[in-house]
């Protein structure tokens, strides 16, 4: 999991929420929690979420509705939780975009094992050692180098950081404000949101035909998505 990303746990049972959070922290995951589907959607737009653990039976907005809304803008893996063992619930959850399903009560250790299995299965890029292959791009993480069809593409430090962040969150939409905060951080004092647009533009040019994978989501921001 990327060091800037989080596991989002969504459940209106506060005790269970705290228990799952504690076990995830023990496994060195960064965790955000929400007690409703609406709160979960808000957090999805504010943070880089790598995985969602989502309860079905909640007031305000249930897990099915939240899952459908998340799928409208993100391919983040989702594991759904429910107190009911109904096959109908399981089928419905998988049909609307969930990646796995667990029935309460469950072992936190099994939950984490299932979560990690889903993450391996749904990882968007193919990693070999310390290299990432996505489409025609080959990224050497150790050397912070980018190759396209074995040709070295020279990127600035911020261009590289921006590309890696987008690739690691393929399919997830980020606002310009979010990208600015994540990539520039304390350096942001001297920049503006136009800085993000400028770097996106130069990245697209340098990536050549692969630049189409950096997509503009009008009225929201940007996302990275490999063309099938």
For the segment 63-97, what is each residue's pLDDT rounded down to a tens digit?
A: 889 999 988 888 889 999 887 766 777 777 778 88
CA–CA gap between residue 86 and residue 195 (Å, rounded) = 50
Any domain includes 96 = yes
What sign does the dihedral 187-188-190-194 (CA atoms) show? Answer: positive
- Could you tell me which residue, 146 or 92, shows the higher pLDDT? 146
Q: Give the pLDDT of residue 30.
A: 87
CA–CA gap between residue 77 and residue 70 (Å, rounded) = 10
* R_g (Cα) of the chain, nearest Å: 18
Any domain includes 49 = yes
Q: Which of 50-59, 124-133, 169-178, 205-214 has the lowest mean pLDDT?
A: 124-133
CA–CA gap between residue 50 and residue 8 (Å, rounded) = 8
Instruction: Answer yes or no: do 143 and 79 share one domain.
Output: no
Q: Are strands 214-217 and 221-224 parallel, antiparallel or unpaired?
A: antiparallel
Strand, helix or coil at 219? coil
Instruction: Answer yes or no: do 211 and 134 share one domain.
Output: yes
Give the domain extent around 177. Answer: 126-224
> Is residue 23 over pLDDT 60?
yes
Last residue of a domain, one of 97, 122, 147: 122
Instruction: Answer yes or no: do 17 and 50 share one domain.
Output: yes
Any residues with CB less than 8 A from the CB of 129 and at least 6 apart, and which? none
CA–CA gap between residue 118 and residue 110 (Å, rounded) = 12
Instruction: Answer yes or no: do 47 and 72 share one domain.
Output: yes
Mean pLDDT across 17-44: 90
Any domain includes 1 = no
Indicate the number of domains in the chain: 2
> Is residue 117 over pLDDT 60?
yes
pLDDT band at 189 (very low <50, low <70, confident <90, very high): low
Q: Give the pLDDT of residue 18.
A: 92
Q: Give the pLDDT of residue 160.
A: 92
**CATH number for the domain harbouring residue 138:** 1.10.10.10
CA–CA gap between residue 190 and residue 219 (Å, rounded) = 24
Which range scores top for mean pLDDT: 13-17, 45-49, 131-135?
13-17
- What DSSP string runs through 65-90? HHHHHHHTT----EEEEES---HHHH
Q: Which helix (H) or strand (E) holds 151?
A: strand 151-153
Any residues with CB less than 8 A from the CB of 81 and at least 6 apart, and which? 11, 53, 54, 55, 56, 63, 101, 102, 103, 104, 106
Instruction: Answer yes or no: do 118 and 184 share one domain.
Output: no
Instruction: Answer yes or no: do 63 and 135 share one domain.
Output: no
- How many CA atoms are closer than 13 Å to the CA of 197, on its beta-carbon side? 6
Last residue of a domain, one of 87, 122, 157: 122
> Is residue 53 over pLDDT 90?
yes
**CATH number for the domain harbouring residue 57:** 3.40.50.2300
Instruction: Answer yes or no: do 111 and 16 share one domain.
Output: yes
């Amino acid at each position: 999991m990327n060091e800037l990303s989080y596991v989002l746990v969504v459940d209106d049972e506060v005790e269970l929420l705290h228990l799952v959070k504690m076990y995830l922290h023990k496994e060195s995951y960064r965790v955000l929690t929400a007690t409703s589907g609406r709160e979960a959607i808000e957090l999805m737009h504010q943070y880089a979420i790598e995985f969602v653990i989502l309860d079905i039976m909640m007031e305000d907005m249930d897990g099915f509705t939240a899952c459908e809304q998340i799928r409208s803008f993100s391919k983040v893996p989702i594991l759904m939780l429910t107190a009911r063992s109904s096959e109908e619930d399981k089928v419905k959850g998988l049909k609307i975009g969930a990646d796995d399903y667990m029935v309460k009560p469950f072992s936190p250790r099994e939950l984490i094992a299932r979560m990690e299995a889903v993450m391996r299965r749904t990882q968007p890029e193919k990693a070999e050692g310390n290299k990432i292959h996505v489409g025609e791009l080959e990224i050497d993480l150790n050397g912070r180098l980018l190759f396209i069809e074995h040709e070295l593409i020279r990127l600035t430090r911020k261009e590289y950081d921006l590309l890696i962040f987008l690739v690691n969150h393929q399919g997830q939409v980020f606002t310009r404000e979010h990208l600015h905060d994540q990539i520039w951080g304390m350096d942001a004092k001297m920049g503006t949101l136009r800085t993000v647009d400028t770097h996106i533009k130069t990245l697209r040019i340098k990536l050549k035909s692969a630049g189409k994978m950096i997509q503009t989501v009008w009225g929201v921001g940007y996302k990275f998505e490999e063309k099938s």
